[in-house]
Amino acid sequence: MIEGEITTVKEPYLVTVSQSKNFEEDNTFTGRPEAVVTIKDLTSGVSEILLNRGGGAYQTSVLQGVTGHTYQLTVALEGKSYVATSTIPKTIVNLEALTAEYSSIDNDDIYMVPQYTDPAGKGNYYRIRQYVNGEVIKGSFVRSDDATDGLTYNGQLYYDTDKKSGNPLIRIGDQMTAELQCIDKGVYDYFRTLNTTIDQDSATPSNPLTNFSGGALGIFNACSSNFLTAEAKL
């Protein structure tokens, strides 16, 4: 399993390499610390071998995500190479507002409602992550503009509020943060199919669509990213 991300937010970027498991096994993964991990900006030609942080984590120190640039992630492990490419879209869409609403189904739950406007012209893809008081809520949402080209999105972000999920619950007065990523279609397809293949009770579970060659599972996501924080008020 390989997971990596490079964004327009200036910071060290992390790639994790771990041993994948069968669907019926638990969700803990053993890191692979013996890989050689490289990210290359195919647009500028700048390349970097990532620093091995141990435990299967690898970190950049030079690269910065730039809109319109295409990046290639290569993981060399046990004589094999796993390669993925991803492009940061040229079009940047920012969050315009973030509010809180009671669930339309269960008034005990509170959900975030981010707002952004899709620019005219199809082919835009988005991923949304959410945090409560700095703690990430598991999972993410992906959307395309196939049926909403040029429209404003402001839907509730549902998530698992059962205690067993371990997710933080949104309460009045909490600091909510939404992250909006503009992603390419390969990344969109991965998270779209991931949401339909993680059911452990499925009779024929399948792997999500990945942008890696060489038979590796996972995703390399090059994207623009912007955050908006607001207090939960009703």
pLDDT digits over 131-180, tens only?
Answer: 999 999 998 999 999 999 999 999 999 999 999 999 999 999 999 999 99
Instruction: Give residue limits of the domains in the chain.
Output: 2-89+204-222, 97-188+223-231
Distance between CA 130 and CA 139 in Å, rounded?
Answer: 9
pLDDT in tens, 192-223: 998 764 343 444 457 899 999 999 999 999 99
Please name the CATH architecture into which domain 97-188+223-231 falls: Sandwich (2.60)
Please report the DSSP string for the chain in residue order.
-EEEEEESS-S--EEEEB----TTS-S---B-TT-EEEEEETTT--EEEPEEEETTEEE-SS----TT-EEEEEEEETTEEEEEEEE--S------EEEEEE-SS-TT-EEEEEEEEPPSSS--EEEEEEEETTEEPSS-EEEESTTTTTPEE--------SGGG-PPPP-TT-EEEEEEEEE-HHHHHHHHHHTTT--TT-SS--PPP-SBSTT--EEEEEEEEEEEEEE---
Distance between CA 23 and CA 37 in Å, rounded?
Answer: 26
pLDDT at 205: 54
pLDDT at 104: 80
**The CATH number of domain 2-89+204-222 is 2.40.160:** no
Contact predicate 59/216, CB 8 Å: no
Average pLDDT rounded to a whole number, residues 75-82: 96
CA 20 to chain CA centroid, nearest Å: 19
2-89+204-222 and 97-188+223-231 have identical folds: yes
Distance between CA 157 and CA 131 in Å, rounded?
Answer: 11
Please state the pTM of the whole predicted model. 0.91
Contact predicate 87/69, CB 8 Å: yes
Contact predicate 74/220, CB 8 Å: no
